[in-house]
Structure 1
Amino acid sequence: MPRDYHKEYQNGNTKVLTLRLQGSKFADFRSVCSDNGITQADFLKACIDAYLDNSLTYENGKLRMN
Protein backbone atom coordinates (compact mmCIF):
# COMPACT_ATOMS: atom_id res chain seq x y z
CA MET A 1 0.00 0.00 0.00
CA PRO A 2 1.46 3.41 -0.94
CA ARG A 3 2.21 5.92 1.80
CA ASP A 4 -0.24 8.78 2.30
CA TYR A 5 2.20 11.66 2.64
CA HIS A 6 -0.56 14.25 2.93
CA LYS A 7 -2.02 12.46 5.95
CA GLU A 8 1.43 12.01 7.48
CA TYR A 9 2.09 15.75 7.10
CA GLN A 10 -1.23 16.66 8.72
CA ASN A 11 -0.61 14.32 11.65
CA GLY A 12 2.97 15.49 12.09
CA ASN A 13 1.87 18.49 14.16
CA THR A 14 -0.01 16.45 16.75
CA LYS A 15 1.13 14.35 19.67
CA VAL A 16 -0.59 11.47 21.42
CA LEU A 17 -1.42 11.60 25.12
CA THR A 18 -1.82 8.29 26.91
CA LEU A 19 -3.23 7.71 30.36
CA ARG A 20 -4.16 4.70 32.42
CA LEU A 21 -7.41 4.42 34.36
CA GLN A 22 -8.98 1.66 36.38
CA GLY A 23 -11.51 -0.25 34.28
CA SER A 24 -14.51 0.93 36.28
CA LYS A 25 -13.42 4.59 36.18
CA PHE A 26 -12.84 4.35 32.42
CA ALA A 27 -16.30 2.81 31.90
CA ASP A 28 -17.90 5.55 34.02
CA PHE A 29 -16.06 8.29 32.12
CA ARG A 30 -17.00 6.80 28.76
CA SER A 31 -20.63 6.50 29.85
CA VAL A 32 -20.90 10.07 31.15
CA CYS A 33 -19.28 11.47 28.00
CA SER A 34 -21.68 9.46 25.86
CA ASP A 35 -24.68 10.61 27.91
CA ASN A 36 -23.58 14.23 27.43
CA GLY A 37 -22.98 13.79 23.69
CA ILE A 38 -19.26 14.55 23.78
CA THR A 39 -16.32 12.38 22.85
CA GLN A 40 -13.77 11.53 25.50
CA ALA A 41 -11.05 13.19 23.42
CA ASP A 42 -13.04 16.42 23.00
CA PHE A 43 -13.67 16.58 26.75
CA LEU A 44 -10.00 16.10 27.58
CA LYS A 45 -8.95 18.64 24.94
CA ALA A 46 -11.37 21.17 26.48
CA CYS A 47 -9.86 20.54 29.93
CA ILE A 48 -6.35 21.03 28.57
CA ASP A 49 -7.34 24.24 26.77
CA ALA A 50 -9.00 25.59 29.94
CA TYR A 51 -5.91 24.73 31.98
CA LEU A 52 -3.62 26.43 29.48
CA ASP A 53 -5.67 29.65 29.46
CA ASN A 54 -5.81 29.66 33.28
CA SER A 55 -9.59 29.24 33.51
CA LEU A 56 -9.04 25.85 35.17
CA THR A 57 -6.60 25.23 38.00
CA TYR A 58 -5.50 22.11 39.83
CA GLU A 59 -4.82 22.57 43.53
CA ASN A 60 -4.51 19.97 46.27
CA GLY A 61 -5.91 17.20 44.07
CA LYS A 62 -8.97 19.19 42.96
CA LEU A 63 -9.95 21.06 39.83
CA ARG A 64 -11.30 24.59 40.14
CA MET A 65 -12.83 26.82 37.51
CA ASN A 66 -11.64 30.44 37.70
Structure 2
Amino acid sequence: MTKLVADLKGGTGFRKSLRVKRVEGMKSVQVYEMTWAPDGRATWEYGEEIRPGQPHVIWRRIGTHSIFRQP
Protein backbone atom coordinates (compact mmCIF):
# COMPACT_ATOMS: atom_id res chain seq x y z
CA MET A 1 0.00 0.00 0.00
CA THR A 2 2.80 2.41 0.90
CA LYS A 3 4.42 1.97 -2.52
CA LEU A 4 1.15 2.59 -4.35
CA VAL A 5 0.45 5.77 -2.38
CA ALA A 6 3.99 7.03 -2.99
CA ASP A 7 3.64 6.36 -6.72
CA LEU A 8 0.25 8.12 -6.85
CA LYS A 9 1.67 11.17 -5.08
CA GLY A 10 4.74 11.18 -7.32
CA GLY A 11 2.60 11.40 -10.44
CA THR A 12 5.18 9.66 -12.62
CA GLY A 13 3.50 6.26 -12.96
CA PHE A 14 3.71 3.04 -10.99
CA ARG A 15 6.84 1.07 -10.24
CA LYS A 16 7.12 -2.17 -12.21
CA SER A 17 7.16 -4.33 -9.08
CA LEU A 18 3.46 -3.49 -8.43
CA ARG A 19 2.45 -4.76 -11.89
CA VAL A 20 -0.38 -2.24 -12.31
CA LYS A 21 -2.58 -2.59 -15.39
CA ARG A 22 -6.14 -2.01 -16.51
CA VAL A 23 -8.60 -4.90 -16.09
CA GLU A 24 -9.83 -6.07 -19.48
CA GLY A 25 -13.53 -6.48 -20.16
CA MET A 26 -14.76 -3.71 -17.87
CA LYS A 27 -16.63 -1.38 -20.21
CA SER A 28 -18.63 0.86 -17.87
CA VAL A 29 -15.74 1.89 -15.58
CA GLN A 30 -11.96 1.84 -15.74
CA VAL A 31 -10.84 -0.75 -13.19
CA TYR A 32 -7.17 -1.35 -12.48
CA GLU A 33 -5.38 -4.28 -10.91
CA MET A 34 -2.22 -4.46 -8.84
CA THR A 35 -0.07 -7.41 -7.75
CA TRP A 36 2.22 -6.92 -4.76
CA ALA A 37 2.98 -10.56 -3.82
CA PRO A 38 2.81 -13.98 -5.51
CA ASP A 39 -0.88 -14.26 -4.56
CA GLY A 40 -1.62 -10.71 -3.36
CA ARG A 41 -4.00 -8.81 -5.62
CA ALA A 42 -6.15 -5.69 -5.50
CA THR A 43 -8.51 -3.94 -7.89
CA TRP A 44 -9.55 -0.30 -7.81
CA GLU A 45 -10.95 2.57 -9.80
CA TYR A 46 -10.42 6.30 -9.62
CA GLY A 47 -13.17 8.48 -8.15
CA GLU A 48 -13.86 12.20 -8.18
CA GLU A 49 -11.18 14.26 -6.43
CA ILE A 50 -11.89 14.83 -2.76
CA ARG A 51 -8.67 16.71 -2.01
CA PRO A 52 -7.60 19.03 -4.83
CA GLY A 53 -4.65 17.67 -6.78
CA GLN A 54 -4.73 14.21 -5.15
CA PRO A 55 -6.03 11.07 -6.89
CA HIS A 56 -9.01 9.43 -5.18
CA VAL A 57 -8.73 5.63 -5.20
CA ILE A 58 -11.84 3.50 -4.63
CA TRP A 59 -10.78 0.01 -3.59
CA ARG A 60 -12.98 -2.70 -5.12
CA ARG A 61 -11.43 -5.99 -3.99
CA ILE A 62 -8.30 -7.01 -2.09
CA GLY A 63 -7.17 -10.60 -1.64
CA THR A 64 -5.84 -13.52 -3.67
CA HIS A 65 -6.12 -14.22 -7.39
CA SER A 66 -9.76 -15.26 -6.81
CA ILE A 67 -10.81 -11.58 -6.69
CA PHE A 68 -10.75 -11.56 -10.50
CA ARG A 69 -13.94 -13.60 -10.68
CA GLN A 70 -15.77 -10.28 -10.25
CA PRO A 71 -13.35 -7.31 -10.09
Larger radius of gyration: 1
> Which of 1 and 2 has higher RCO (CA within 8 Å, sep 6+)?
2
TM over 0.5: no
Which bin holds the TM-score, normalised by the shorter protein?
Answer: under 0.3
More helix by share: 1
Name the TM-score, length of structure 2 as normaliser: 0.23
Name the TM-score, length of structure 1 as normaliser: 0.24
